[in-house]
Structure 1
Amino acid sequence: MQLLSTRRRRIATAVATAALVAAPLVGAVAASAATATGTVNTTGNPGPALTVRAAPTAASEAVGKRSDGATVTIVCQTYGQQVTGTYGTTRIWDRIRSGGYVSDAFIRTGSDGLVAPLCPGTTTPPEPTPSAAVKATIAAARSMTGKYPYSWGGGSYSGPTRGICCSPSGIDDRQTVGFDCSGLMEYAFAKGAGLRLSSTSRSQYSDGPRVPISQLRAGDLVFWSSSSRTTTGIHHVALYVGDGLIVEADRVSGPDLRVRAFSTGETGVMPSVVRPIG
């Protein structure tokens, strides 16, 4: 949970250089009933035109261009070459109605995920095999489940601690030894990967590095905010462990430190996740 803290640590983040690429399919494509629209944004005033490719890869044949600011109709989406652009790094490519593909990294759709049906023949890329550091971090978080209660302000990189007074609901946890959501993350990453995270969910999100939730993988931090999904409204964090599951500390009926099923469509889930282990 979000707490005031003087301990802040900016986790170093490598920012990939944006590359202007776009992608595949020659020939006009008929629109379906489930199309979406997007706006080309290549950064600039105006930015350079976006190349339309014959396939979802920057190496494929160029079959057209779309000017910065142009509206495109997205007939379907698929996975292809990873591209870094205006809206981060993604493997999603948009098949447009006029024919060809453009990288979703340069298309403003209002979402970091899929907004149109998958193109025929598309297969979802498998989650990468977690690194040793990610596996150790997940194991550290799992090792605490069912052992301690939720404690507002409790937990640190060294393990469970007494909480503080008082939670937003007025609960005094000064005599309760355990973890709150961000304290559990602190412990897991310190124990598993030797990383010192900030001590609040809000600062953990600010520290980054952030990637779109459409690229979610094991070892990522998932965040919840108010209905507006703003950074200032962040109030909860959990560790994604793969296979649609998270480890979290929350004051709930049953074990407060638990593994549960997770959906990116849950109310308040932030559109980006934090990846402390690259």
Structure 2
Amino acid sequence: MQLLSTRRRRIATAVATAALVAAPLVGAPLVGAVAASAATATGTVDTTGNPGPALTVRAQPTAASEAVGKRSDGATVTIVCQTYGQQVTGTYGTTRIWDRIRSGGYVSDAFIRTGSDGLVAPLCPGTTTPTEPTPSAAVKATIAAARSMTGKYPYSWGGGSYSGPTQGICCSPSGIDDRQTVGFDCSGLVEYAFAKGAGLRLSSTSRSQYSDGPRVPISQLRAGDLVFWSSSSRTTTGIHHVALYVGDGRIVEADRVSGPDLRVRAFSTGETGVMPSVVRPIG
């Protein structure tokens, strides 16, 4: 899609919502609620490939720990408990969750398909749960500004600016004319939130917001960061959506979906098309 210099043009696509997700804390994993009353759980090794390489089992929850075995790609493992260790990026995103398996040792949950981005087994004895640091006042105000618009306005293609909701434009890739719809699109909501909450003027398209930076790896995601979605190639030119990460595994976004278009929802870094870097307008 060609971006025009005078009008906002973005592609808004519905993003799959995970039923049970959590998000990386600052230097922390995608974590979620412990599965109720689960004594053990099972998972499948997935190291990517056909088949992928075997997954190394470690004596401790760190990649530098002694190797105590291997599990082949596609193998089923029994998870007796889970803990937090070294942050690892793998098939299922970035996480510090490690799974202690019945046969002994630990494997990174980034390579285990369990059907959830959160915990699926009890915490191992002695585990300390990571916590997010307190966001700055500017970040809190930005998040509050974005949240204040949720449920109040519809999605409007090309709508929204640093000053608030506006009429949209014509026409979306599917031919929708939003010239009579007052609201926000994804980058319009972001533009408003940072102007209202932190006094920052951001660019007006999702692609330019990503290009403007500053960027950090998504493994360092924290409240106040901007998350971006791209085409399957995950290139800058394929970016079509942006959302504000608000902490605790959730984002606030404007999207043309069933239900409220401006909403807070659960988020996983493993979602299709998520860019490997986030933008941190507030340092």
Calculate percent identity across the aligned residue pairs. 98
Distance in 2 between the 1:149 and 1:217 partners? 27
Residues 72-114 of structure 1, C-alpha deviations (whole Å, 9 max, x = no match) = 9999999999999999999999999999999999999999999
- Contact 2:30 2:94 survives alignment (8 Å): no
Distance in 1 between the 2:64 and 2:84 partners? 15
Q: Cα–Cα, structure 1 residues 276 and 116, in superposed 2: closer, same or farther, change >3 Å? A: farther
Instruction: Give yes or no for the alignment of 1:4 onto 2:9.
Output: no
* Structure 1: 5+ residue stretches without partners: none
Worse-matched range after superposition: 265-274 or 184-193:
265-274
Match of 1:267 among 266, 272, 280: 272
Deviation at 1:127, TM superposition (A): 1.9
Distance in 1 between the 2:204 and 2:187 partners? 6
Residues 109-137 of structure 1, C-alpha deviations (whole Å, 9 max, x = no match) = 99999999999988564322100000000
Q: Cα–Cα, structure 1 residues 269 and 15, in superposed 2: closer, same or farther, change >3 Å? A: closer
TM, length-normalised to structure 1: 0.61
Distance in 2 between the 1:244 and 1:219 partners? 12
Q: Cα–Cα, structure 1 residues 214 and 67, in superposed 2: closer, same or farther, change >3 Å? A: same
Distance in 1 between the 2:131 and 2:107 partners? 22
Higher relative contact order (CA 8 A, sep 6+): 2
- Contact 1:20 1:42 survives alignment (8 Å): no
Describe the SS at the equivalent of 2:89: strand
* Structure 2: 5+ residue stretches without partners: 24-28
Residues 180-238 of structure 1, C-alpha deviations (whole Å, 9 max, x = no match) = 00000000000000000000001101111111111111000001111111111110000
Deviation at 1:29, TM superposition (A): 30
Aligned length: 278
2:216 paired residue number = 211
Residues 245-268 of structure 1, C-alpha deviations (whole Å, 9 max, x = no match) = 110000011110001111111111
Q: Cα–Cα, structure 1 residues 136 and 101, in superposed 2: closer, same or farther, change >3 Å? A: same
Distance in 1 between the 2:227 and 2:161 partners? 18
Deviation at 1:28, TM superposition (A): 35
**Structure 1 segments (4+ residues) deviating >6 Å:** 7-122
